[in-house]
Amino acid sequence: MSRLTGRTALVTGGSRGIGRGIAERLAREGALVAVHGRDPEAAGRTAKEIERDGGRAFAVAAELGVPGDAEALWAAFDAGLAGYEGGHGLDILVNNAGIGQPGRIHEVDEAAYDRVFAVNARAPFFVVRHGLDRLRDGGRIVNVSSGVTRVAFPEAVAYAMTKGALNTLTLTLAQELGPRGITVNAVLPGIVATDINPWLADPSARARASSYSVFDRVAEPADVADVVAFLASDDARWVTGQNLDASGGSNLGV
């Protein structure tokens, strides 16, 4: 596969889980992938494993959800990219980094609310804002949202609100950046088997989670990564401003 040869991608939260699956998939398509992570060692391991598999990648370490996070991320990106021939500019930005926040409205305090919004909503906003001068015309922005934005999900109300904000950002940016030929779309996963969902190790819990999908299973990171790779490619040149459900048909009958 070489649909993305000659292009540079940045995947936030790319060192683990869904983000790692996305980084690996884009690299297999030929992209040079900047693997972002809060933990430099984890991001570095993922980048090295991508290179061992024949891809090209480098690590970008920065904490999101704190003052100056976007500027720090882009400074690390610029430094890493400078080591590559012709190293400047970006073609694909995947805003994947995020944290969970369980709890019904009476269970979420102000600190937890502010934290989840800082990471899941504010950070991608300013990552885009400070990255626009690096993003080439004809580029791609893919925001990793959540299927909880299309159903009522009281058990994680603050988290769901952050992803709703990301969907609105997607729609607005699609119109804003259309004149530059940049597409902006969101992918809405359901339950994915990653270390962020350790409760899936319980057979009864996994069975219940699997029942949400019409395919009677939970997703693997590759199920989401393949959708992102499509949106990042020229095949999706006429798709923008969309919130693309990638939940395996979860809760279709609800």
Which residue is it, tokens 């950046």? 177
Question: Using CA atoms, how far apart are residues 50 and 228, in angstroms rounded to an integer?
Answer: 17
Three-state SS string across 173-214, please?
A: HHHHHHHHCCEEEEEEECCECCCCCHHHHCHHHHHHHHCCCC
List the structure tokens of 109: 């305090």
Q: Give the residue ranges of DSSP H helices in the chain.
A: 17-28, 40-52, 69-81, 110-117, 123-131, 157-177, 203-210, 221-232
> Which of 84, 113, 159, 212 is labelled catalytic?
159
Question: Using CA atoms, how far apart are residues 201 and 142, in angstroms rounded to an integer?
Answer: 30
Question: Using CA atoms, how far apart are residues 87 and 109, in angstroms rounded to an integer?
Answer: 44
Q: Are 142 and 228 in contact (CB under 8 A)?
A: yes
Cα–Cα nearest to 29, from 247, 240, 235, 245: 235
159 is an active site residue: yes
SS3 content of the chain, % helix, strand, coil (to 5): 45, 20, 35
| DSSP assigned state of 156 | B
Question: Using CA atoms, how far apart are residues 121 and 97, in angstroms rounded to an integer?
Answer: 10
Residues annotated as catalytic (active site), given as ranges: 159
